[in-house]
Structure 1
Amino acid sequence: MYAAIDGFLRYLKIERNASELTLKSYSEDFGSLLDYFRDRVGDIVDPAEVQIPQLRGYVAYLHECDYARTTIARRLASLRSFFRYCQREGLASSNPAKVLRTPRVGRKLPHFLTTEQITKLLEAPPANQDEGLRDRAILETLYSAGLRVAELVGLNVDHWDQDANIIRVFGKGKKERIAPIGRFAAQALYRWLEVRKEAPGAGPKDQGALFLNRFGTRLTTRSIGRMLEKYLMLTGLDKLTTPHTLRHSFATHLLDGGADLRSVQELLGHKSLTTTQIYTHVSTKRLKDTYENAHPHAAKNHRPGRGERPPAEK
């Protein structure tokens, strides 16, 4: 069983280009399952020995422990993927996780900032310090291109085509996409590159990194989070704001400005349009404005006829 799990994790890393964070999540999921087997069922030495009732007991155990539905759903997805791999490799004859019911998970509406709040945040980094120029470039790039924070820290200087003002982004599974950036982000990047100093003898991982820490090496996702927390305190903005909030704000403002859903899907690098549809809640105001401006019987355009009372003024 342990060898099968190790093989599956290697498969995810080498063939599926899974990120370290994804591999860590899968490892935790399998650790939870193996702990359950050891404590409640007994050691399972072979994936072919795992049966549906045992997995149903595991799901019941997760519910008893009050795990969030999202966590349970993720662990079930991990098990399905694992046993599908085992079937392909001849380690199991069936996928016992396939019949398990995934708990219904309500999708949270994404937290986003208004355009006024975004402006306040982007103007917070001091322009008279190298670190401030870097932070401004980071925030502008996150918002302008709608990047995931892992995509941002993976950027190299040569990923930015300065003539075309586009950046080459490597998303989940190392899938490449092209993201345009606006003039404010481009200006911030130009100013940052004027003061950017790479560490002497930087290793292969850090060479050419677009965003560097004070030691001249590549920034980490956690460093971006800490940096953002500093400016949230400075501006008094919602503390629930994360680097991903700028990606949510990017999609929200595009849709609210009239962009079509397919275009936003491409810009975000979403595989499925369903994932992008979570942002359509923000276009309610725009749809209402369009309706009131276009429909002949909308309150804004309707002219009462003879003997007809006009709608009461609010």
Structure 2
Amino acid sequence: MAQAGGADVERVVGAYLDHLAVERGTARNTLDGYARDLRRYREYLARRGIAAITGIAPADVTGFGVALRTGDDGHRALAPSSAARALVAVRGLHRFAHADGITEHDPARDIHPPSQAKRLPKALPVDEVLRLLAMPGTEGERAIRDSALLELLYSTGARISEVVGLDVDDIDEEERTVLLDGKGGKQRIVPVGRPAIEAVRAYTVRARPSLARNGRGTPALFLNARGGRLSRQSAWQVLKTNAERAGLSAAVSPHTLRHSFATHLIEGGADVRVVQELLGHASVTTTQVYTLVTVNTLREVYATAHPRALG
């Protein structure tokens, strides 16, 4: 058992940081962050009249977690991610003190950092999607191809990798469906809207034959200038270039049209389990993030439109 003087919070924090640096080889940036967080913890405890680590109770650790988010300890309130990092430092400190025999109990053992809010996917408003889809034009082989590519991405909600992996026979123009090869080799049939079918038909009739002459007879639906299968990177560049030409307000990602597809379906009243099947998600939990997007939109409209929203 450590001596009473060794139970002083400041001394234990110093010992813990030395332990991380020497025995764990923790990176300097991480050590600096832990030092800042634990200094704030020491100051919080001092305000409560606690100088010895043996005098810290679970309620003190919980109170510090609240103070991190509210700024009630006289410091700037932290974002959830920063508050979670600070609590990780505090949990590590108490775990170290308990393992080293300085304390008989670990007051932070049952204290868990707040779970991180799910990062909401970015979806474009419908009018911006329509502006993007109108960008490639209808003249020239690449423009016709790019138009079909973008239309199909938005119409099906497919991943870029799934669309560039399509072969000509995977499109059923009569049934207006497409057979997609998803993650884990799982296939799914997804309906295709009429504008996308017409764009694909225009591409296969007017542009693909010319592109195919430069290649070796690949069955791929979307071809590059050399007649080979269009790569995922090239398809992503098509999306990025046309988004810039359209002057879209939000930054686009390879999943932009997929996210927009899902969000617009749910906003239109589609059942989340149907959207799950269309996206090829293994779990409905993954799809439910799109319901959070629409709830946030509703909340914003309510806050600006309802006369008592801020009351």
TM-score (norm: length of structure 1): 0.58
1:271 is aligned, of 272, 282, 300, to 282
Does residue 146 in structure 1 map to residue 112 in structure 2? no
| Partner amino acid, structure 2, of 1:140 | E
Change (3 A) 1:109 1:135: same
Q: Which residue does 2:30 correspond to in 1?
A: 64
Aligned in 2, Cα 1:223/1:62: closer, same or farther, shift over 3 Å? farther
Cα offset, 1:243, TM superposition: 3.0
* Aligned residue in 2 for 1:181: 192
Q: 1:285 to 1:102 in 2, by over 3 A?
A: closer
Structure 2 gaps, min length 5: 1-22, 34-80, 82-111
By how many angstroms is 1:215 displaced? 1.3
| Residue in 2 that maps onto 1:131 | 142
After TM superposition, the structure 1 = structure 2 runs for residues 248-267 of structure 1, keeping only pairs within 5 Å, are: 248-267=259-278
Which residue does 2:247 correspond to in 1? Answer: 236
Q: Hey, what's the Cα distance between the residues in 2 that align with 1:62 and 1:221?
A: 38
Q: Distance in 2 between matches of 1:218 and 1:189?
A: 16
After superposition, residues 40-55 of structure 1 pair within 5 angstroms as none
Q: Tell me, yes or no, if the aligned pair for 1:167 and 1:179 is still in contact at 8 Å.
A: yes
**Identical aligned pairs, as a percentage?**
42
Which has the larger Rg? 2
Distance 1:62 1:270 in 2: 40
Query: Which of residues 227, 230, 239 in structure 2 aligns to 1:219?
Result: 230
- Counterpart code for 2:233: R
Unaligned runs of 5+ in 1: 1-55, 70-100, 292-298, 301-310
272 and 131 in structure 1: CA distance in 2 versus 1, 3 angstrom threshold: same
- Report the CA distance shift for 1:285/1:238 in structure 2 as closer, same or farther (over 3 A): closer
8 Å CA contact retained: 1:256, 1:282: no
Q: Work out whether residues 256 and 286 of structure 1, in 8 Å CA contact, stay in contact via their aligned partners in 2.
A: no
SS at match of 2:255: helix
Deviations 1:87-107 (A, max 9, x none): xxxxxxxxxxxxxx9995432
Aligned pairs (5 A) from 1:1-314:
64=30, 104-195=115-206, 196-197=208-209, 198-200=211-213, 202=215, 207-238=218-249, 240-284=251-295
Contact 2:120 2:293 in 1 (8 A): no
Q: CA deviation at 1:287?
A: 7.1
Task: State how far apart, in whole Å, the 2-side matches of 1:278 and 1:285 are.
Answer: 11
Change (3 A) 1:126 1:274: same
Amino acid corresponding to residue 30 of structure 2 in structure 1: E
Number of equivalent positions: 205
How far the C-alpha of 1:217 sits from its partner, in A, is 0.9
Q: Give me the TM-score of the superposition, normalised by structure 2.
A: 0.58
